[in-house]
Amino acid sequence: MPRHILFVTGTRADFGKLEPLAAAARDAGFRVGIFVTGMHMLDRYGLTKLEVHRMPGVAVAEFLNQREGDPQDMIFAKTVIGFSDYVRQARPDLIVVHGDRVEAMATAFVAATNNLRCAHVEGGEVSGTIDEVFRHCNTKLAALHLVSSDTARARVLAMGEDAASVAVIGSPEIDSHARPSGVDMAEVRARYAIPFDDCGIAVFHPVTSEPDIGDQAAAFFGALEASGRAFVVIHPNNDPGCEDIMAVIRALPGDRFRALPSMRFAYFSELLRNAAVIVGNSSAGVREAPFLGIPSLDVGTRQTNRARGPSLSRAAARDGAAIAAFLARQWGRRYPRDTQFGQGDAAAAFVAVLRDPATWDRPLQKRFHDRPPQG
């Protein structure tokens, strides 16, 4: 039997990163499953589990791990219970988790406590919020590390991980953006009733360690409204504080803001390629946008120290003058492609890792690898 690779996805964002890897593993002859939970299962966020089910040739399992308003510790506990039940039956050879979400931490915990091999995608990155803590927890729980850059690799090694267990593959979502989206802007506008020919994208997520996120959102969207520009607004994820942000979004004027719960990946990719700018605190602004040469404004602390480059600017959410200056200066500009997070070949690198016998021979019992002191 081919080895069974099980991917865990909890949000529309992490599925965009995991889908190229899952497709490549499937096409390489591995048996691929996807455990779908988190925001994917909730109507108010677009019921994006349907996007996962559209992927051919993979087995999809669903688990509802939360109700509206559940705190993150409860979501963690529910996910541990549901995923533990599932893997006892499925017995995957490798569990693949991504990033810094509580679902990834819960499923990596289950893998570690059940002596199952786990690969963590995009470890070793920093953001300055509690999400970074979750990400580093996942690194310590995982046996295999698929990082996006040499800088991230160095951080994983600084956490005592075995250098042989760390592979630099780049950011997987770059693979999808590196190829044609398969749709055009006329189709994007028609499907999502976007009335603007010239618009930016705005995405503003909660920062769980900042209780004033609603006030930040009010200032941020107020600056966008004052600019007179048009924006497609993607709803925030469901972390604590999302209701405060949604209250601001609901009050935006409909003639210049088109708010959407979510978008299919191909349609979002095409919209991003044609956007005048992207603003907010989504990772798309610090990863995908620079790769596509789209000007981006990183607002607030959620992506602190995550990336840098000529197309990327930064501002505090309450700094209306800086936001206005960015929009005036950068609207519609284009930059050379930034490849600091890969060339779009992460999926091929992932398959190479899967085909390496050392991946499967390495013991699951981990030990701390000390590094020589600096200086």
Q: Which of 192, 295, 287, 177 is nearest to 234 (CA)?
A: 192
Whether residues 204 and 129 fall in one domain = no
Mind listing the pLDDT tens digit for each residue in 19-30?
Answer: 999 999 999 999
Judge whether 367 lies within some domain. Answer: no
251-269 mean pLDDT = 95
Judge whether 102 lies within some domain. Answer: yes
Whether residues 111 and 257 fall in one domain = no
Mind listing the pLDDT tens digit for each residue in 270-293?
Answer: 999 999 999 999 989 998 999 999
Q: Find out whether 33 and 117 touch, Cβ atoms under 8 Å.
A: no
What pLDDT does residue 239 have?
83
Q: Which of 349, 354, 362, 13 is nearest to 149 (CA)?
A: 349
What pLDDT does residue 129 have?
72
Domain total in the chain: 2
Whether residues 8 and 97 fall in one domain = yes
Whether residues 193 and 325 fall in one domain = yes
What pLDDT does residue 127 have?
79
Mind listing the pLDDT tens digit for each residue in 126-185?
Answer: 876 778 899 999 999 999 999 999 999 999 999 999 999 999 999 999 998 999 999 999
Whether residues 48 and 154 fall in one domain = yes
Judge whether 40 lies within some domain. Answer: yes
Q: Given pLDDT bands bounded at 50, 70 and 90, which one contains residue 123?
A: very high
Whether residues 356 and 225 fall in one domain = no
Mind listing the pLDDT tens digit for each residue in 32-66?
Answer: 999 999 999 998 888 999 999 999 999 999 999 99
Judge whether 52 lies within some domain. Answer: yes
Whether residues 221 and 120 fall in one domain = no
Rounded percentage of the chain residues whose pLDDT exceeds 90: 86
Judge whether 125 lies within some domain. Answer: yes
48 secondary structure, DSSP code: T
Q: Which of 360, 352, 340, 362 is nearest to 21 (CA)?
A: 352
Full DSSP string of 267-298: HHHHHHHH-S-EEES-GGGTTHHHHHT--EEE
How far is it, in rounded angstroms, from Cα 6 to Cα 16? 16
375 pLDDT above the threshold of 70: no
Whether residues 202 and 59 fall in one domain = no
307 pLDDT above the threshold of 80: no
Judge whether 139 lies within some domain. Answer: yes
CATH of the domain at 155: 3.40.50.2000
Mind listing the pLDDT tens digit for each residue in 201-257?
Answer: 999 999 988 889 999 999 999 999 999 999 999 999 888 899 999 999 999 999 999
Whether residues 22 and 113 fall in one domain = yes
Whether residues 234 and 164 fall in one domain = no
- Name the 3-class secondary structure at 61: strand
Judge whether 14 lies within some domain. Answer: yes
Whether residues 46 and 123 fall in one domain = yes
Judge whether 336 lies within some domain. Answer: no
Whether residues 158 and 207 fall in one domain = no
Full DSSP string of 74-113: HHHHHHHHHHHHHHHHH--SEEEEETT-HHHHHHHHHHHH
Q: Given pLDDT bands bounded at 50, 70 and 90, which one contains residue 371?
A: confident
Give the domain range for residue 304.
182-330
99-113 mean pLDDT = 96
**Higher confidence at residue 323 or residue 301?**
323
